[in-house]
Amino acid sequence: MLSRFALPARSSGARLLGAQRRLASTKSLRETLEDIIPAKQEQLKKLKTEHGQTVVGDIKIENIVGGMRGLKAMLWDASVLDPIEGIRFHELSIPDCQKVLPAAPDGKEILPESMLWLLLTGQVPTPEQTCQLSRELAEKGDLPKFVEKLIDELPQSLHPMTQLGIGVAALNHDSAFQSAYEGGIKKTEYWTHTLEDCINLIARLPALAARIYRNVYKPGNDLPAINKDLDLVGNYSNMLGYGNNKNLTEYLRLYIALHGDHEGGNASAHTAHLVGSTLSDPYLSYSAALFALAGPLHGLANQEVLRWQLAMQKELGDKISHDDIRDYLWKTLKSGQVVPGYGHGVLRNPDPRFIALQEFCQAHPDLKESSIVQLVNKTFEVAPDVLKEHGKTKNPYPNVDATSGCVLYHYGLTEFKYYTVIFGVSRALGALTQLVWARALGLPIERPKSFSIDALQKMVQDQKN
């Protein structure tokens, strides 16, 4: 995959190829997709025609009654989650992405815009294309006045995730897809209007999320205007009031880029796909996804990790040994609770996102010396062995939530309930890009077959007879 981005040799033919590549490097995101979509449509058509009857898995009763866990039944082209290797975005691992995806001019971490481009096209954008996309998002980032008024009138006590879902749903007032569909468009044009909605929504999420943060936690503070020369996260950090903290801005870039997609089976991505399959526009589809993300078993996990770590720190004091942590882990497990931040529905190794965030911490002296970050590291050194001995966890290793919230807390963003909003800004990258492809590929409405308990028992009995 990476060989696609190697420099050409200095022959005349290669110079021509280089000129073509330079020309390609100036194409917009929509122009790039217009080139890619026909080939992908033909690939899917051939797969359906020639291999439609190929069996890729067996359905068992445990799949049906166990939340369809592990069931191979969904098309999601941007990322694949391997239990051992972790996530790959169009075949690129997280370390690959960190090497080839453009960063901000003043930073080193992946720009979410470059991840957005990769997820949509399967191609690594040039710095020029990334900058162009950043500019487009900034120019489209202002909220409609009626949405500002709506958010400002919500009660301060309403959970930030509820407010985010309400705001995203209200933005459907300006949906290009809904307007075009009502006016009558060809199915082949669905993806273009879906793309327009998705780009507009991603552009507006920072202003919406920052307004919610201001209203709930910093009422009365002025919100800075969007700076057309800043990238998506540069503006988001600035509107949150942390624009002068370069390290936090860089962390948010990395966090949002890496959280952008984690294949399609997770609850929020699957919800967006399901609702979108009814031809609901991207605003309605993603608002539904956000309410899935708000659940304690999904997006709220990072705040629960931090709450648990701080409770341990409060109980054990400043000088915490590995034995102290081991005892606290057993105390948690014996009380019937899980250890937050450990285990994953698919992964069977430490989450590569966790490793990437830990490497970020090790590269910044202030984080390396942080007591809460040090506690995360020590817990990682002890927890897997305890969980293996306990024997009830399929994956005794940390997931990304084990460290993500602790860095935010260190930099002063200490409002736990807001953390999932940041996750919601991030997850839009994957969920929305796949709505574009679902429409481009003409995927049908999702409609699995359900069974009653009696029907399942009859099927089992029939097989025995």
- pLDDT tens-digit profile of 85-117? 999 999 999 999 999 999 998 899 999 999 999
Tell me what pLDDT residue 10 has.
37
Q: Closest Cα partner for 228 from 144, 133, 101? A: 133
Number of domains present in the structure of the chain: 1
- DSSP per residue, 116-140: HHHHHHSSPPPHHHHHHHHHHHHHT
387-400, pLDDT tens digit by residue?
999 998 888 999 99
**Contact criterion met (CB below 8 Å) for 283 and 201:** yes
Would you say residue 123 has pLDDT above 80?
yes
pLDDT at 330 exceeding the cut of 80: yes
Q: What is the pLDDT of residue 23?
A: 58
Is residue 366 one of the residues assigned to a domain?
A: yes
Q: Is 410 a catalytic residue?
A: no
Whether residue 370 lies inside any domain: the answer is yes
Residue 229 lies in a domain: no
Q: What is the pLDDT of residues 302-317, one digit of tens each?
A: 888 899 999 999 999 8
- Tokens describing residue 168: 């995203």
The 10s digit of each residue's pLDDT in 54-90 is: 998 888 999 999 999 888 899 999 999 999 999 999 9
Determine the Cα–Cα distance for residues 405 and 328; give it in Å rounded to an integer: 20
H/E stretch holding 270? helix 267-276
CATH no. for residue 338?
1.10.230.10
At residue 92, the 3 state secondary structure works out as strand
pLDDT in tens, 239-254: 999 999 999 999 999 9
Tell me the whole-structure pTM to 2 decimals.
0.91
At residue 168, the pLDDT reads 98
Q: Within a domain: residue 184?
A: no
Task: Write the DSSP symbol of residue 103.
Answer: B
Segment 273-300 mean pLDDT: 95
pLDDT > 90 fraction of the chain, expressed in percent and rounded: 84
d(CA 425, CA 432): 11
* Mean pLDDT computed over 179-186: 97
Which candidate in 82, 96, 159, 298 is catalytic? 298
- Domain membership of residue 343 (yes or no) is yes
Q: Does the annotation count 344 as an active-site position?
A: yes
At 188-241, the pLDDT tens digits run 999 999 999 999 999 999 999 999 999 999 999 999 999 999 999 999 999 999
Q: Is there a catalytic annotation at residue 51?
A: no
Alpha helices by DSSP H, 391-465: 401-410, 419-440, 453-464
Is the residue at 144 inside a domain? no
- Asked if residue 356 lies in contact with residue 321, where contact means CB atoms within 8 angstroms, the answer is no
The residue segments making up the domain with residue 398 are 301-410
Predicted local confidence at residue 6, as pLDDT: 35
Picking from 186, 190, 287, 256, the residue whose alpha carbon sits closest to that of residue 400 is 256
361 in any annotated domain: yes
In Å, what is the CA distance from 4 to each residue of 8, 90, 132, 271? Answer: 10, 13, 22, 34
The DSSP result for 172-236, as a single string, is GGG-HHHHHHHH---GGGHHHHHHHHHHHHHHHHHHHHHHHHHHHHSTTPPPPPP-TTS-HHHHH
- Average confidence (pLDDT) over 178-186: 97
Catalytic entry in 193, 262, 270, 344? 344
**Model confidence at 24, in pLDDT bands (50, 70, 90)?**
low
Which helix (H) or strand (E) segment is 80 a member of?
strand 79-82
Among candidate residues 270, 273, 401, 410, the one labeled active-site is 401
pLDDT of residue 38: 97
pLDDT at 431 over 70: yes
Helix (H/G/I), strand (E/B), else coil: 47 = helix
Number of H helices and E strands in the chain, helices first, is: 22, 3
- pLDDT value of position 75: 94
Confidence of residue 346 (pLDDT cuts 50, 70, 90): confident
Q: What residues does 103 pair with on adjacent strands?
A: 110
Instruction: Report how far residue 2's alpha carbon sits from residue 282's, in angstroms, rounded to the nearest whole number.
Output: 32
In a domain, 320, yes or no: yes
